[in-house]
Structures are given as structure tokens and as C-alpha cells.
Amino acid sequence: MKIEAVIFDMDGLMLDTEDLTAHLIKNTLEEYGYKFPDFIEWFYQNGVGVGRVNIIVKLKEMLKVDVDFDSFWERFSVCRRAYIKEHGVEAKPGLFELLDYCKANNLKMAIASSSALSSIKTKCEGAGLPLSYFSSIISSDHVSENKPNPQVYHAACISLGVSPDKALALEDSDAGVESAYRAGLKVILIPDKKKNSPQAVKMAYRTVKTLKDVIPILK
């Protein structure tokens, strides 16, 4: 497999942030007067990998009430920044080994995330992850449709100057796998906490346990 670039998802793939996001959204909903005992399970079924806009759409469908979601999301974002500033963010196992391998072997690297650029910067800083590893960062600010739409991966390949068949995508979520697959990239699936669908597993070129396990595939 001749690969010129590796494109990384962020949440749940490079950084252990999905539980943090789920619990902080739950806490913010409770501040707004909405209590959902099963919210964490709901989030893992509906909110992983799809970005703010799609999460809000699904929350509106669930709540069936008129909520000022701009205010809601800003409050959630403030709480998230404060938490990360105090506690930091944990990098996923094998991340820095893989980044260093790609750098040493002159593989181009990019981030392709459904998060906003400001969120990417906050989380990576909290994890001690230098953005200088990456030649390009494509966020929800750069596309009109988030994952599972393939736009973010099309944009990442264009920004790196590589064709999709020469790029490898690393993903943890069903939406991310579908996005990269539809864009024409080979996808390695590194599952996070949510069990992936059979369809996502079938789309993936390979499924491995950790980011470090990607290195032998690249070799």
C-alpha cells in the first residue's frame, strides 16, 4: 500500500474526549432544566463524530421544545474550556509514537475533524499535542456538511496535495469511517468506547486496537 499522507480524526481517535463531551453536555442540559438519566447512552448513539450542528439537530428532535441552542452551546463550550484548562486532556495510546513515525518517514499529516477549529486548538493544547505535526487542519469551520458527508476528507486531501487513493484515514466513529470511505480513502478503524456498526467495520480497510498498531501497516 503506497501511502503519501495520513489524515487523523481527533475526538475519540487522537484524544480521549468523547466521555468529557457527553458529560458536559448532560450537565449543561441540566443547568437548562432538562434531566435525562440515559443521556450518556443517547450521546454515544447519536452524537459521536457528527459535529455541533448535527448534535443540535438531534437534541432538538429529542427535546421537542424551543431552546436557545446558541446560548446553550456557548455555555457548554465555556465549561469545556474551563475543565480542560484545569484537568487537561488524555492522548490516546500510541498517538505520539505514530506521529513521530509519520514525521520520520516524510508522510504528510492532517487533522480532519467535525469539531470547530477553536475546539481543536483547545483540546490539542490541553493534551500537549503540538499542531506543528500537521500540515493542514480541516474543521467544521471549513466545510458546509460534517461527517458522515465526505467533504472534510475531500478538503483535507486537497490541502495536502494528495489524491484520496494515496491517503490513509484514521477513524473511531461510524460517521467518520463513512466520511473517509465515501471520499475514496482507505480507512483504519481504531474503535473507541462505542461499538461500531457492522457497516462501518465492513467499510474499514483494517481494524486495530491502538494507534501504535497502525505503524506496521504503514511499513
Select from 71, 87, 103 the last residue of a domain: 87
CA distance linking residue 161 with residue 156, whole number of Å: 9
CA distance linking residue 96 with residue 35, whole number of Å: 38
Question: Is the bond preceding residue 148 a cis peptide, omega within 30 degrees?
Answer: yes
Q: Which domain, by its residues, includes 186?
A: 5-16+89-218
pLDDT in tens, 150-161: 999 999 999 999
**Alpha helices (runs of H) in the chain, residue ranges in sequence order:** 18-31, 39-46, 51-63, 69-87, 95-104, 117-127, 151-160, 174-182, 198-203, 214-218
How many C-beta neighbours within 10 Å does residue 103 have?
Answer: 13
Please say whether the dihedral angle defined by the alpha carbons of residues 45, 51, 52 and 57, taken in this order, is positive or negative.
negative
pLDDT in tens, 62-112: 776 667 778 888 898 899 899 999 999 999 999 999 999 999 999 999 999
What is the domain-level CATH number for residue 171?
A: 3.40.50.1000
**Global pTM value:** 0.87
pLDDT in tens, 137-195: 999 999 999 899 999 999 999 999 999 999 999 999 999 999 999 999 999 999 998 88
Share of the chain above pLDDT 70, in %: 97
- Do 137 and 68 fall within a single domain? no
- Do 107 and 146 fall within a single domain? yes
